[in-house]
Amino acid sequence: MDRSKDERYRESSKKRLLNIIKKKFDTTIIGSLAAFEESFGHLWGHNIPEHELTTEQKEYRKIWGETRTIILDKGNLNLRASQSEISQHTLSWNRYVTHFIMKDKEE
């Protein structure tokens, strides 16, 4: 019975870690793309309707769209590779540990 409980705990620990890593990957990738769009979006008319773009902005938007897709694809590929690597390990979450230090009244 204890062994089954330990296995379930290890499995839930692994799922927890996988979810945390996915969120961090997603935040990193999307946050990086957003920062790039904020700094360079004027080149491709970020937040401007397609029909209002200049010819140059349309070309840059096309290039950005392709680049953005490559970045997302590589990020997702590395996320899946990381998840696969974790799935090959046995682990358990140590939870939050608090250590209390007892001192004498005189200290």
Residue 63 placed within a domain: yes
Kindly report the pTM of this predicted structure: 0.74
pLDDT, tens only, 40-80:
999 999 999 999 999 999 999 999 999 999 999 999 999 99
Residue 96 placed within a domain: no
Q: 48: exposed, middle or buried (C-beta count within 10 Å: 0-12, 13-18, 19+)?
A: middle
Confidence class for position 90, pLDDT limits 50, 70, 90 = confident
Residue 69 placed within a domain: yes
Domain count of the chain? 1
Instruction: Kindly state the tokens that stand for 101.
Output: 């230090």
Percent of the chain at pLDDT above 90? 64
Residue 56 placed within a domain: yes
Query: In the prediction, which pLDDT does 107 show?
Result: 60
Domain hosting residue 54, numbered range: 2-87
Query: In the prediction, which pLDDT does 105 show?
Result: 74
Q: Please check the confidence at residue 15 and state whether its pLDDT lies above 80.
A: yes
Amino acid letter at 98?
T
Residue 51 placed within a domain: yes
Are 32 and 104 in contact by the 8 Å Cβ rule? The answer is no
Confidence class for position 102, pLDDT limits 50, 70, 90 = confident
Residue 7 placed within a domain: yes
- CA 24/CA 16 separation, integer angstroms: 12
Residue 101 placed within a domain: no
Residue 52 placed within a domain: yes
Q: Please check the confidence at residue 1 and state whether its pLDDT lies above 70.
A: no
